[in-house]
Every structure is written in structure tokens, then in C-alpha cells.
Amino acid sequence: MKKQFAVIGLGRFGSSVCKELYHLGHDVLAIDNDEVKLNGVSDYATHHVITNATDESALKSLGIRNFDYVIVAIGDHIQSSILCTMLLKEIGVKKVWVKAQNDYHHKVLEKIGADRIVRPEHDMGIRVAHHLDSERIIDYIELSEDYSIVELVATEKNNKQTLIEMDVRAKFGCTVLAIKRGSDVNISPSPMDEIVSEDILVVMGHKNDLKRFEAEGM
Ligand code: ADP
């Protein structure tokens, strides 16, 4: 379903969010106070406007309240990012997603009611570290301090094993959410589904259980 997004701040992060949303077929309003930055996304946004996003009346005159999501991607200007987020919540924007620069910024954004806080460099660093820790982990998503989702490459040992034979849930307390084979994705694997080596298993569980599964089950 087509949604209405406004992306404020078109640095590396904001412009990439803007372009991808536009490619996905959504309406995107791009906002920046720097004309050069705006010109960089003009072909990838439904509308683009030069505006200082810390100016309440300017935000209101854009009808910002009516957007489904507003993404605040003002990077280094932490003060502006905080002020803009506060204004958006005061104006009544339902979903405000904000890029945080550091822990201090993150804490303040939580306090003022940001609906989702993203830390792209921080989060990507964690994912890369997990990939480096084990080359068999090709992606890693943290769900909470204890739980995560990982993508693991099936080994020769798993070749022709069914999920029942692997006994992932009973032995390791983990759940196989999906099996990827080339461009095919099986999103509701049944217990009788057979794994082939080099399949990618998307597995959810406690971090300790996932480690155990990777070490002993694969
Ligand atoms: P990144 O780290 O993702 O590259 P940057 O800090 O380089 O992010 O980019 C932030 C963007 O936010 C810049 O394009 C900057 O012009 C814009 N910006 C900063 N302050 C404001 C503001 N008050 N109103 C609108 N845009 C702003």
C-alpha cells in the first residue's frame, strides 16, 4: 500500500532512505535546508523543499502532520535533530523515526517520544562483527539483549536433513523462520522440508542457543 513519507536531512543516510522509499513506490517529500543536498535527490522524491526543519510554522505549512511517517536524518546537528523531533511530536505526527548519532542523543530522543531510533553505523558495526566472528553467520538482527535472528549457511552435515531430523527446536530451543535457496525463499518451512548444503537458514532464538546450534547443529 502506498504511504506518505517525509524525509528530513538528505545526507548519506537520509538520501538513501528517500531513494529506496521512492523506488518502492511511495510518496516521498524530501526536506533539507541545503539546496545542493536537495538537488541530489530531486529525481528520487515526489516533492522536495528547502526548509529549516526547526521552524515550527514552516513544518506546519508543509502539512507535516498528515504524513504517515517522518524520518529525521539530521546527522551531526544533534541540537537541530532534537528540536525538530520535539516539534514533530508536538504537531502530532504519529510516527517519527530518528537517526541518533550517539548514546546521549539516543537517550534524549527516547525521552521526547521518538517512535523509533536508528543507529545505522552502530547497528551495522554489530552485524559486521557477528559476520567476522563466524563466516557462517551472514546476517544478524538483534531483537533484544538476549534474542536475535541470524542467517546461517547450511553445511554438508545438514545436506538432505529434514527440519525434524535436525530437531532445532527441541535440541537447541531455536526456530527456523525461513529457508533461502538461491532466489527462492520458503517462509513457512514445514518439519518435513529438506535442507540442502549452502541453503541459508533464517533462525531465531536466544543468543546462547543460536551459538550452540551453530557449533553443534550445523
Ligand atoms: P549523514 O551522516 O547521514 O551523511 P549529515 O549530517 O551529513 O548526515 O546530513 C544531515 C543533513 O541534514 C544535511 O544535508 C543537512 O543539510 C541537513 N540539515 C541539517 N540541519 C537541518 C535543518 N535544521 N533543517 C533541514 N535540514 C537540515
Dump pLDDT digits (tens) for 34-59: 999 999 999 999 999 999 999 999 99
For strand 175-181 and strand 184-186, is the pairing parallel, antiparallel, or unpaired? antiparallel
Q: 90 C-alpha vs ligand 1 centroid, how far in Å?
A: 21
Q: 143 C-alpha vs ligand 1 centroid, how far in Å?
A: 29
Tell me which residue of 130, 60, 122 sits closest to 88, measured CA to CA: 60
ipTM of predicted complex: 0.96
CB 142, CB 202: distance < 8 Å: no
Report the nearest atom of ligand 1 relative to the CA of 120: 3
Question: CA-CA distance, 127 to 166, in Å (whole number)?
Answer: 26
Residues lining ligand 1, judged by CB closer than 6 Å? 8-14, 31-34, 37, 52-54, 73-77, 80
- In a 3-state reduction of DSSP, which class is residue 102? coil
Domains and CATH numbers, the chain: 4-118 (3.40.50.720), 123-217 (3.30.70.1450)
Question: CA-CA distance, 108 to 112, in Å (whole number)?
Answer: 6
Q: 52 C-alpha vs ligand 1 centroid, how far in Å?
A: 10
pTM of the entire predicted model = 0.80
